[in-house]
Amino acid sequence: MNDLILPAILLSSLLPGLIIFTLPEESIRLRTTLNLAGALVKLMFVALLFLRVVKREYSELRLPLLADMELVLRADALSMLFLALSAFLWLLTTIYAIGYLEGSPHRSRFFGFFSLCVSATTGIALSGDMITFVIFYEMLTISTYPLVVHRGTPAALHAGRIYLAYTLFGGVVLLLATVWLRAIVGPLDFTPGGVVAGTDPALYGSLTVIFALLILSLGVKAALVPLHSWLPTAMVAPAPVSALLHAVAVVKAGAFGIVRVVHDLYGIEFSLDLQLLFPLAVLAAVTVLYGSLRALTQNDLKRRLAFSTVSQVSYILMGIALANPLATIGGLVHLVHQGLMKITLFFCAGNLAETLDIHKVDEMDGVGKRMPWTMAAFTIGALGMIGLPPLVGFISKWYLGLGSLAADQAWVVIILILSTLLNAGYFLPLLYRTWFAGTQQEWSVSALPGGRETTWPLLAPPLITAALVIIFGLLAHLFGSPLYWVELITAREYGL
């Protein structure tokens, strides 16, 4: 029984997805039920698994693929972090998407691929070795493409082509690097401390090249500069897809993969010995600054958020690359924190587009009066991104700062301060417009009962995530909070 919970978690989103594909457009109720039931069942299984992992019981499942190859599913502390994040945000995004896509065509197709996408993300979280990781990572690529091109406009198709070109390029490089690493090292099970250490020193050159290839390939999805440009282009997708892409699935899968490679394949010590991490830190720093700089000048709201993602995801990589317990805590916890904040922002941007047809930043003047709840959530997300205490963004940045000082890399603190200023530079004017600028145009009056600003499925998810942004910031050391969990992971990784 112990092992079957892992495939059960996978199937809880895969099966509803496959059934939804066969449903006709009109059976809305059945589709909604399946979606929500799948999300809730998955959340339940994840909670069960969570309790096991807390007790240090690591479930594992191995299936033979070819000779010498296995499909390994395993739940350790790091997988739980990503798994819990994706399972929880999937539920919210599903609710949101049901509201967002009400009345639009091709919904069976959309929700089918949506479920496949989450199944692939779950698979990535539960992968116990690199081969399994590659399999699910590619499945994520394929299942996301239909979501990106969902609208079927020439712009969407163009974005889909760009997305496929970037991610498949990353995919083949990842395949090459993985096969090569497997040929040098042997089985690639994710093990704390890495599996590479015992390699013949004559192969260290190859190992360095493979590391570069792995970062290159995973960096495509993690939107590392200069491989980031698919992400702003993919903004033509519907808002729930953008939310999923940015907060849970694609971008995070890349970052998560880099964490796995550094921590569980190469191992921190070995990576430090080979001096692999300093270039990664520099790359992350460049990405942090570049993303923020580009975000400053974007007038399209979703594009501004997209460049903000480019910048913020590299905080995770920076924390990993500093190779210091405190910085690692800062990086890993940002995996969750950035997800919560960014999904709030995208939900709100979707609400603006769906309710008031606002897509541009300069159309947002005074919108706070028309949609106070949405914009309150947006404000919390944006302030969190800037790093205002006591919101979650502050916690990430605080630990990153402490870690960089402890690692004698004071230049990172400067980067952090610069980036915070830039974050403020592109978010604060937005907030000012929202709340204090005079309204340029008359908004249509809400037709909903009680003058509610928008429908519940659209309003509830951002409010919940915004509340979590505050709660996890205020009560960061609560049992089961992201920070608590990340400290466990880091202690295990560094053997503290």
Q: CA–CA separation, 299 vs 72, rounded Å?
A: 45
470 binds other proteins (CB under 8 A): no
Q: Which is nearer to other proteins, 152 or 279 (CB)?
A: 152
Q: CA–CA separation, 328 vs 305, rounded Å?
A: 25
Q: Binding residue for other proteins (CB under 8 A) from 191, 206, 229, 446? A: 206
207 binds other proteins (CB under 8 A): no
Going from the C-alpha of 284 to that of each of 278, 318, 416, the distances in angstroms are: 10, 6, 11
492 binds other proteins (CB under 8 A): no
In sequence order, the β-bridge partners of residue 413 are: none
Helix (H) or strand (E) holding 72: strand 70-74
CA 27 to chain centre: 31
Residue 334 near residue 315 (C-beta atoms within 8 A): yes
- Please name the amino acid found at residue 485: W
198 binds other proteins (CB under 8 A): no
Q: Which is nearer to other proteins, 88 or 111 (CB)?
A: 111
Q: Please, what is the minimum distance in Å from the beta carbon of residue 179 to other proteins?
A: 4
End-to-end CA distance of the chain: 32
Q: Binding residue for other proteins (CB under 8 A) from 183, 209, 421, 491? A: 183
Q: CA–CA separation, 259 vs 171, rounded Å?
A: 17
Residue 67 near residue 24 (C-beta atoms within 8 A): no
Q: Please, what is the minimum distance in Å from the beta carbon of residue 125 to other proteins?
A: 17
150 binds other proteins (CB under 8 A): yes
109 binds other proteins (CB under 8 A): yes
278 binds other proteins (CB under 8 A): no
Q: Binding residue for other proteins (CB under 8 A) from 3, 37, 57, 152? A: 152
62 binds other proteins (CB under 8 A): no
Q: Binding residue for other proteins (CB under 8 A) from 200, 438, 445, 450? A: 200
What are all long-range contacts of 194-199, with beta carbons under 8 Å and residues at least 24 apart? 194/263, 194/264, 194/265, 194/266, 194/267, 194/268, 194/269, 194/270, 194/271, 195/264, 195/265, 195/267, 196/265, 196/266, 196/267, 196/270, 197/267, 197/269, 197/270
From 182-190, 349-357, 438-446, 478-486, give the range in contact with other proteins by CB under 8 A.
182-190
Helix (H) or strand (E) holding 18: helix 5-22
Closest CA to 249 of 449, 128, 93, 104: 93
- Produce one character per residue of 387-396: b if its CB has 16 or more CB atoms within 10 Å, e if not: bbeebbbbbb
Q: Which is nearer to other proteins, 136 or 347 (CB)?
A: 136
Q: Binding residue for other proteins (CB under 8 A) from 23, 54, 157, 471? A: 157
Q: Which is nearer to other proteins, 160 or 368 (CB)?
A: 160
212 binds other proteins (CB under 8 A): no
Instruction: List the x/- string, 7-36, binding to other proteins by CB under 8 A.
Output: --------------x---------------
203 binds other proteins (CB under 8 A): yes
Q: Please, what is the minimum distance in Å from the beta carbon of residue 461 to other proteins?
A: 27
Contacts with other proteins by CB under 8 A lie at: 21, 63-69, 71, 106, 109, 134-135, 138-139, 141-142, 145-146, 149-153, 156-157, 160-161, 164-165, 168-169, 171-173, 175-176, 179-180, 182-184, 186, 200, 202-203, 206
